[in-house]
Structure 1
């Protein structure tokens, strides 16, 4: 007897809860052609921005090609070595200054991104959303903070800065009273999955062992996200330590850098698994002191090191930990499957900063890493670190991954062929 088929938009439902399921084999129509299967496993894109750069000697390998010796930071990503490419010698060629953050994902010509004179264009995430956004509940998610998402008129799109609000949008539905009740349940340490336990048990009895494993992994991700939200509630009411450095003024980040990064990555993972959106921009970072052994100064202070060895070591500890958390996210994507592919294979994950050298506010030779997706990864692709390759040329290649036949984007002069 053939196994029952599931609709791609199957939900677990109760009063106040509506949880979309991840893609499972039971959602592929019986006898579907390879072309139809490919349509049910759509490509995605995640763009991750860091505001304070990455210290180049610790980020870039010395050798180019697939056989490079991993740098200090890249050692954490070596289990995924064949599924990402690091690029050196890339930038938008903007003048020095933090103001270039606004052009990180738009890549418009340098004359349009000048201090006190910004004439921006559409960002890469919104360009993708304009083509595929109508296929999902959310055309895109703009998360974390920063000024990196822009519409076609060059108007900034504000980021959602509270993970609790995004979690509520993804999983909690109903009347205001029902939504309030479910949020309180999460805060009190009770899972929203408790209300749909019977449906989960029934579903497990109808699907294959492979689908049960996918469902178990997905439900574990939901519980992990809930736990991080509970921690978020705890930290929001916990007094911050008093330290001997200037009080940060940043309006993004959170109470603890790594915890908050994991929280956002969990939300992004769940949004992709449930096909709630196919494009996400996430801007991470904080100027505060992260809770990392050996670090006793703020991230911003460490990034403006002036080649001071003590500050450089503390900066290395911070950035090394950031890359490790990013690697955890990639590993989760790899563990999540859709038909014959992993979610990492379906998702182009871009990780970069608008600063190449935060100590001097230099915007050349940016730290750029591209993981997953339909790319032929090359290890380390090294362009001229003095006469940089335009980052927008890589953006054109990323649009092609999303099945968008673009000839240009931003100030591009062509398309990267290396991957």
Structure 2
């Protein structure tokens, strides 16, 4: 074979209804996309949310800096000490209770009259999402809920941590097969469906805009939320009909195995399926921003597969009873284990001299410290990955008491090249992350 024969790293293998990137081949060396010099792997933002807080006694670690002792709840991180930092003394500055702790986890804003604010993941997606098929992917495991959790606190605001705008929340996809098909199914059928849907969306947008001009202020908010949802569909259609130019192609090619239909009954199976889909999406550069709600913000999931008796929300209100505290710790340890699984998988994905975890920021946490009293100070927060060299993990970092979670948001946002100096109620960044 002639050594002068080169093919582009943008070359794709196309099968029936799916397209995946080729691995890095010798014939690709020196042939960067668009004829430019080869580019470094992109940085990704991954956010994992765990509801209902933790048992502080089994979460809090002893020691500072690199010389710290992992707690019982954090034991699954033992092999990843050099890849994750434990952050202490970050406070939830949003609304209280499970609803406010959820809705403001990535926005840092207290909900008022149904209005919140764009979340960190979506701001980052707006900035870096034009080079991937999906600017962001939002996954979950529990269906949305309705009802109230108190005056002015609809449970619906605990359905998601991702907000596209102050009036528009993004519902997580919880069906593994549906998520897979949206991310990876392509071809003539997908294009035909997109064209048909596009005509419907055009009509809907036109009608909604006309209606908004005659609506009350309150109805205007509702219509704007609706319009944001429709625009999201419009963007998905456009990405199907006009795929974005790719500036980087992953050097590895994972096997794409379509999940079975329906939602798994067993919780641990469901969580792992969704986590594996998130990993696939990142590995194939289908998106560079992934958000995963491990459970609903008001989750009453049962952990019978672990031999536990109580549902998560009930045991979070443990009243200091030892049996509930033991189960509370077990659930937290399970979720930390899922975080560890994600990071181990990312660490094992080669990106040509580095790995996917090296090139990611992986946030994990809850909007409550202790569910028993809806404690919002000193949140359980983990920050993993190396952020393409912008993070220095492997430590326990204790911030000044009263430091707000939005300070962390702003610090991470700026690492993605977004030129803002305020976020929510914060104008401070955290040094030495």
Report the TM-score when normalising by structure 2: 0.74
1:375 aligned partner: 391
Asked if the contact 2:365/2:382 (under 8 Å) is kept, the reply is yes
Residue by residue over 1:239-262, the C-alpha shift from the partner in whole angstroms, topping out at 9 and shown as x without a partner, is xxxxxxxxxxxxxxxx33322221
Structure 1 gaps of 5+ residues are 181-209, 237-254
Asked if the contact 2:88/2:380 (under 8 Å) is kept, the reply is yes
Asked if the contact 2:48/2:292 (under 8 Å) is kept, the reply is yes
Deviation at 1:266, TM superposition (A): 0.6
Deviation at 1:7, TM superposition (A): 3.4
Q: Note closer, same or farther for the CA distance 1:283–1:256 as it changes in structure 2 (3 Å cut).
A: same
Query: Which of 277, 296, 305 pairs up with 2:309?
Result: 296
**How far, CA to CA, are the matches of 1:327 and 1:103 in structure 2?**
24
**SS at the partner of 2:46?**
strand
Residue by residue over 1:114-135, the C-alpha shift from the partner in whole angstroms, topping out at 9 and shown as x without a partner, is 6xx4431110011011111111
Alignment partner of 1:7 is 2:41: no
**How far, CA to CA, are the matches of 1:324 and 1:122 in structure 2?**
29
Q: Note closer, same or farther for the CA distance 1:54–1:125 as it changes in structure 2 (3 Å cut).
A: same
1:202 aligned partner: none
2:236 aligned partner: none
Asked if the contact 1:16/1:178 (under 8 Å) is kept, the reply is no
Kindly report which structure 2 residues correspond to 1:90-105, keeping only aligned pairs within 5 A, or say none.
90-100=90-100, 101-105=102-106
**How far, CA to CA, are the matches of 2:160 and 2:393 in structure 1?**
29
1:56 aligned partner: 56
Alignment partner of 1:276 is 2:291: no
**How far, CA to CA, are the matches of 2:268 and 2:306 in structure 1?**
12
2:342 aligned partner: 329
Deviation at 1:175, TM superposition (A): 5.1
**SS at the partner of 2:178?**
helix
Bigger drift between 124-133 and 170-179 goes to 170-179
Deviation at 1:418, TM superposition (A): 2.2
2:421 aligned partner: 407
Asked if the contact 2:302/2:310 (under 8 Å) is kept, the reply is yes
1:142 aligned partner: 138
**SS at the partner of 2:357?**
helix
Q: Note closer, same or farther for the CA distance 1:405–1:317 as it changes in structure 2 (3 Å cut).
A: same
Residue by residue over 1:20-70, the C-alpha shift from the partner in whole angstroms, topping out at 9 and shown as x without a partner, is 4567776553499xx944x34111101111122222222221222111011
Bigger drift between 167-176 and 304-313 goes to 167-176
2:115 aligned partner: 119
Q: Note closer, same or farther for the CA distance 1:317–1:5 as it changes in structure 2 (3 Å cut).
A: farther
Asked if the contact 1:106/1:121 (under 8 Å) is kept, the reply is yes
2:227 aligned partner: none
Residue by residue over 1:177-214, the C-alpha shift from the partner in whole angstroms, topping out at 9 and shown as x without a partner, is 9999xxxxxxxxxxxxxxxxxxxxxxxxxxxxx96xx4
Residue by residue over 1:288-324, the C-alpha shift from the partner in whole angstroms, topping out at 9 and shown as x without a partner, is 2124333122222222211110111112222212211
**SS at the partner of 1:333?**
helix
2:87 aligned partner: 87
Residue by residue over 1:59-114, the C-alpha shift from the partner in whole angstroms, topping out at 9 and shown as x without a partner, is 22122211101111222112110111111110233353122111110112xxx436
Asked if the contact 1:128/1:279 (under 8 Å) is kept, the reply is yes
Q: Note closer, same or farther for the CA distance 1:24–1:281 as it changes in structure 2 (3 Å cut).
A: farther
**How far, CA to CA, are the matches of 1:26 and 1:382 in structure 2?**
49
**Corresponding pairs, count:** 350
Asked if the contact 2:136/2:290 (under 8 Å) is kept, the reply is yes
Asked if the contact 2:41/2:359 (under 8 Å) is kept, the reply is yes
**How far, CA to CA, are the matches of 1:281 and 1:44 in structure 2?**
11
1:162 aligned partner: 175
**How far, CA to CA, are the matches of 1:366 and 1:4 in structure 2?**
55
Deviation at 1:265, TM superposition (A): 1.2
2:214 aligned partner: none
2:276 aligned partner: 266
Q: What is the root-mean-square deviation of aligned Cα atoms in Å?
A: 2.8
Residue by residue over 1:230-282, the C-alpha shift from the partner in whole angstroms, topping out at 9 and shown as x without a partner, is 3x74x65xxxxxxxxxxxxxxxxxx3332222111111111111111111111
**How far, CA to CA, are the matches of 2:422 and 2:37 in structure 1?**
29
Kindly report which structure 2 residues correspond to 1:57-76, keeping only aligned pairs within 5 A, or say none.
57-76=57-76
2:331 aligned partner: 318
